[in-house]
């Protein structure tokens, strides 16, 4: 059977696929027993690419190979087309994304017994903030990956607009609403009104800021100082000292760039930093991360600490025992929120801009509907309430509202 349009939410951290018929959505279990598939791959040395939970399991097990996550963040950038030795052959990140999307397609077809030539994919309102050329290139890149994965008809819908289709009936359906979709790589906003069961989009807006950026900020502030960030190096000649370079730590704290740190050149640079360091024991930990390829383990530890600090107790800890036994850094809610205050302000400003684009006064907004995994951070709802104090703050399905809306929209295209 063929002819249906597959809805795909290709996310920075998680992806999903769904179909809809008669107003009902079926989320396809493209990951065994789960409605979402981690957007992650693992290239074992001398083996086939592993996807999703299997990729994470390989990383945890310490299998020899290369783990990659946050693939979506490189769309529109030259890095997408640079080739690396992955799985025994030279491949670009575009090739990796294509293989991931081909896996989504094949699993959806195996689950349904249908063939999918058409896809309706979500996309951020803006892949890149205030960079229209990069934005156009990013969509073109993603379209090319879908086509290379076997789809012949590719259409896109902004992710918050899709979420509006899935959540229009929440709260007072007659009140104007703001979708706030905080994902792994972008934050997107749609202002809409319900119109007799349909959606009237008044404005779409978005910025390149998301959960992976929160992780990066927290990693640099709380984890990387234990690896030497903020320290000093002695000069080879002459008096005085130099600051430890920040750039490699930024790369180590950036999900998409971690795999590209594991080079002989970087290791030599860090070895030289250890030799000249005022606190060589800290720089030696950085060297250990590179030697043992522990960057993703560290990133997951930061993410886990963030989630714990966002919990009811407000107490988290970044466990770095994989680098050195007993090594950790406390992460308390107050300190975390202080570090993320600029990000919070940026989200508030973007929400205000979306409302201004729609011609809706903040005090006239009836509903704010939060979706996306990173919308679970408490400060997101608090900031949106500050933006629109009269609005009801509602939480939809954080990880599946977008794919649900895409499926509903796709069913109307059939």
Does the pLDDT of residue 88 top 90, yes or no? no
d(CA 330, CA 267): 28
Of 216, 210, 215, which Cα lies nearest the Cα of 186?
210
Please give the angle made by the CA atoms of 233, 234 and 236, to the nearest 5 degrees: 120
* CATH of segment(s) 5-160+403-413: 3.30.420.40
Residues 165-183: tens digit of each pLDDT: 999 999 998 899 999 999 9
Residues 298-316: tens digit of each pLDDT: 999 999 999 999 999 999 9
3-state SS, residue 368? strand
User: Which residues fall within 8 angstroms of residue 239, CB to CB, at 6 or more apart?
Assistant: none
pLDDT at residue 73, rounded to an integer: 95
Residue 347 CA, chain-centre distance (Å), reads 16
Mean pLDDT over 111-119 rounds to 96
Identify the helix (H) or strand (E) that includes residue 195.
Answer: strand 187-195
pLDDT at residue 317, rounded to an integer: 98
| Residue in the block written with tokens 């992806």 | 15
- Domain range list for the chain: 5-160+403-413, 232-332
Does the pLDDT of residue 350 top 70, yes or no? yes
**Terminal Cα distance for the chain, rounded:** 14
pLDDT at residue 286, rounded to an integer: 98
pLDDT at residue 1, rounded to an integer: 42
DSSP state of 52: T
DSSP 261-326: G-SHHHHHHHHHHHHHBSSHHHHHHHHHHHHHT-HHHHHHHHHHHHHHHTSTT-EEEEE-TTTSTT
Does the pLDDT of residue 5 top 60, yes or no? yes
Residues 219-273: tens digit of each pLDDT: 999 999 999 999 999 998 888 899 999 999 999 999 999 999 999 999 999 999 9
83-92, 104-113, 321-330, 335-344: least confident range: 83-92
Mean pLDDT over 61-82 rounds to 94
Does the pLDDT of residue 413 top 90, yes or no? no
Q: Kindly list the distances between the CA atom of residue 289 and the CA atoms of 62, 226, 299, in Å, as whole numbers in the listed order.
A: 13, 12, 11
Does the pLDDT of residue 342 top 90, yes or no? yes
Mean pLDDT over 330-334 rounds to 97
Q: Kindly list the distances between the CA atom of residue 149 and the CA atoms of 68, 84, 107, 142, 173, in Å, as whole numbers in the listed order.
A: 19, 20, 13, 11, 39
* 190 vs 413, higher pLDDT: 190
Task: Render the burial of 270-285: b for 16+ CB within 10 Å, e for the rest.
Answer: beebbebbeebebbbb
Identify any residues that bridge with 189 across adjacent strands, giving them in sequence order. 180, 205
Mean pLDDT over 136-144 rounds to 98
pLDDT at residue 414, rounded to an integer: 64
The token duo for 148 is 């290379």
Residues 38-53: tens digit of each pLDDT: 999 999 988 899 999 9
Residues 274-289: tens digit of each pLDDT: 999 999 999 999 999 9
Q: What are phi and psi of 400, to 5 degrees?
A: -130, 0
Identify any residues that bridge with 178 across adjacent strands, giving them in sequence order. 191, 368
pTM of the model: 0.94
Q: What is the mean pLDDT of the chain?
A: 95
Does the pLDDT of residue 336 top 50, yes or no? yes
């Amino acid at each position: 059977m063929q002819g249906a349009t597959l809805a795909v939410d290709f996310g920075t951290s998680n992806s999903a696929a769904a179909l809809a018929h008669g107003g009902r959505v079926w989320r396809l279990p493209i990951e065994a027993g789960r409605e979402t598939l981690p957007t992650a791959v693992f290239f074992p040395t001398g083996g086939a690419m592993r996807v999703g939970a299997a990729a994470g399991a390989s990383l945890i097990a310490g299998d020899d190979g290369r783990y990659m996550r946050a693939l979506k963040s490189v769309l529109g950038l030259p890095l997408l087309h640079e080739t690396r030795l992955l799985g025994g052959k030279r491949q670009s990140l575009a090739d990796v994304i294509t293989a991931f999307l081909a896996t989504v397609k094949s699993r959806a077809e195996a689950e349904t017994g249908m063939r999918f030539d058409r896809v309706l994919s979500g996309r951020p309102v803006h892949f890149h903030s205030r960079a229209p050329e990069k934005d156009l290139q990013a969509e073109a890149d993603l379209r090319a990956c879908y086509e290379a994965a076997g789809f012949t008809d590719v259409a896109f819908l902004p992710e918050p607009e899709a979420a509006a289709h899935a959540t229009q009936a929440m709260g007072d359906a007659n009140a104007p609403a703001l979708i706030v979709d905080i994902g792994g790589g972008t934050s997107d906003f749609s202002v809409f009104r319900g119109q007799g069961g349909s959606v009237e989009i008044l404005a779409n807006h978005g910025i390149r800021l998301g959960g992976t950026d929160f992780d990066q900020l927290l990693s640099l502030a709380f984890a990387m100082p234990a690896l030497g960030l903020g320290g000093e190096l002695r000069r080879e000649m002459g008096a005085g000292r130099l600051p430890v370079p920040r750039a490699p730590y930024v790369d180590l704290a950036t999900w998409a760039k971690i795999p590209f740190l594991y080079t002989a050149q970087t290791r030599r640079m860090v070895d030289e930093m250890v030799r000249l360091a005022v606190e060589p024991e800290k720089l030696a930990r950085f060297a250990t991360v590179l030697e043992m390829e522990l960057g993703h383990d560290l990133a997951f530890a930061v993410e886990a600490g963030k989630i714990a600090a966002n919990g009811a107790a407000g107490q988290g800890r970044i466990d770095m025992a994989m680098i050195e036994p007993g090594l950790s850094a406390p992460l308390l809610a107050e300190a975390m929120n202080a570090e993320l205050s600029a990000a919070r302000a940026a989200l508030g400003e973007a929400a205000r801009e979306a409302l201004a684009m729609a011609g809706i006064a903040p005090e006239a907004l009836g509903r704010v509907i939060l979706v996306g995994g990173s919308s679970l951070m408490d400060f997101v709802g608090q900031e949106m309430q500050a933006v629109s104090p009269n609005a009801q703050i509602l939480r939809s399905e954080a990880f599946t509202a977008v794919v649900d809306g895409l499926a509903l929209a796709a069913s109307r295209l059939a």
